[in-house]
Amino acid sequence: MTSEKSRRKVALSDAAVGFILVAPAIAIFCGIILYPFVNSVLMSFTNRSLLNPDFKLVGLQNYQKVFGDPTFLRTLSNTGVFVLFATLLPFVLGMIWAIILNQKFRGAGFLRGVTLIDWIIPGASISFLWSFIFDANHGIVNELLRSCGLISQNVNFLGQSGTAMMVVIIARTWQMLPWYMAFLTGGLQGIEYDQLEAARIDGANNFQVFLKIILPGMKSIIIIVLVLGIIGNLQHFDIPKVLTAGGPAGSTTVFSISVYRQAFESYKVGIAATIGTIWAALLAAFSFFYTRRAGRD
């Protein structure tokens, strides 16, 4: 009887110690993440503005305004295009580059290290680099196209709705390719070399080996990398902001820029919180899928 009571006291003591250890992290989470998020959701039901300290509850009016605004539908479309191509393009190029660097040749380690430099360069610096490359007057791309006879006069890539998003996606691809390459290289190195050799002995060509062995063997890492890429692109801000600021004519306006404009240019904090809540719901869906998948793997 005495031993059972002592075990209960020890169990309670362990639980108390565990709570004390976790309490600081919970407090930081509530103060930095949970409270701002809940406050933003509540703010989305108000007409709050930075120009007027007084505000009142407006219910679902903000959501009706946002979903009824044609610019929001365009923002949603722009975000979808940006997320799709800024995820798939660096993924495909990163996979190709990872396969090349996974070969045992002299200088592979050096090339891998050089590639990772792109990843640590700030987004603002990358934006200025690509804005110079695609500059309408002195850009390298225009000079190359004119020297090849493909154009007769310079193209304003960043000033045209049809090409501005392309430049933003290219800049984001250049930034994220090393990230995909690093993760996919780790996945490639987890595949048994004996399986590849056995397939080649059986007469399989490189494409068949990639399709039947490499892709199935990397399925888990590919799904996780793609979901993380989608989440990162959904909340990306600096490259579209610095390169085009959402223009021209809103052709590169994504969720992050839309929230920034509503809050700090139009001063409509309530509308900004509404768009942010919708944005957070999309992020939560992919985050939920990622956590479930990562936990299973």
**In the predicted model, is pLDDT for residue 11 greater than 60?**
no
What is the mean predicted confidence (pLDDT) over 120-139? 90
User: Residue 83's pLDDT is what?
Assistant: 94
Mean pLDDT of the chain: 86
DSSP assignments along 219-288, one per residue: HHHHHHHHHHHHHHHHT--HHHHHHTTT-STTTT--HHHHHHHHHHTS--HHHHHHHHHHHHHHHHHHHH
Three-class secondary structure of residue 76 per DSSP: helix
Residues present in the chain in total: 297
Separation CA 14–CA 139 (nearest Å): 65
> What's the DSSP call for residue 160?
S
Identity at 127, one-letter amino acid code: S
- In degrees rounded to 5, what are phi and psi of residue 49? -140, 150
Provide the whole-model pTM: 0.86
Integer angstrom CA distances of residue 9 from 15, 21, 22: 10, 18, 20
Which range, of 67-71, 131-135, 169-173, 194-198, averages the lowest pLDDT? 194-198
User: Residue 293's pLDDT is what?
Assistant: 66
> What's the DSSP call for residue 157?
G
**In the predicted model, is pLDDT for residue 8 greater than 80?**
no
Identity at 63, one-letter amino acid code: Y
* Contact (Cβ atoms closer than 8 angstroms) between residue 5 and residue 20: no
User: Residue 208's pLDDT is what?
Assistant: 84
Rg (CA), the chain: 25
Three-class secondary structure of residue 57 per DSSP: strand
Q: Any idea which residue has 């993380």 for tokens?
A: 228
Separation CA 217–CA 239 (nearest Å): 34
**In the predicted model, is pLDDT for residue 31 greater than 80?**
yes
What is the mean predicted confidence (pLDDT) over 183-197? 82
User: Residue 257's pLDDT is what?
Assistant: 94
Q: Any bridge partners for residue 57, and if so which?
A: 46
Tokens matching residue 74: 């365009």
How many whole angstroms from its chain centre is CA 196?
33
**In the predicted model, is pLDDT for residue 294 greater than 70?**
no
User: Residue 102's pLDDT is what?
Assistant: 83
Q: How confident is the model at residue 178 (pLDDT cuts 50, 70, 90)?
A: very high
Q: What is the pLDDT of residues 247-291, one digit of tens each?
A: 888 999 999 999 999 999 989 999 999 999 998 888 888 778 777
C-alpha triplet 284, 288, 291: angle, nearest 5°: 135
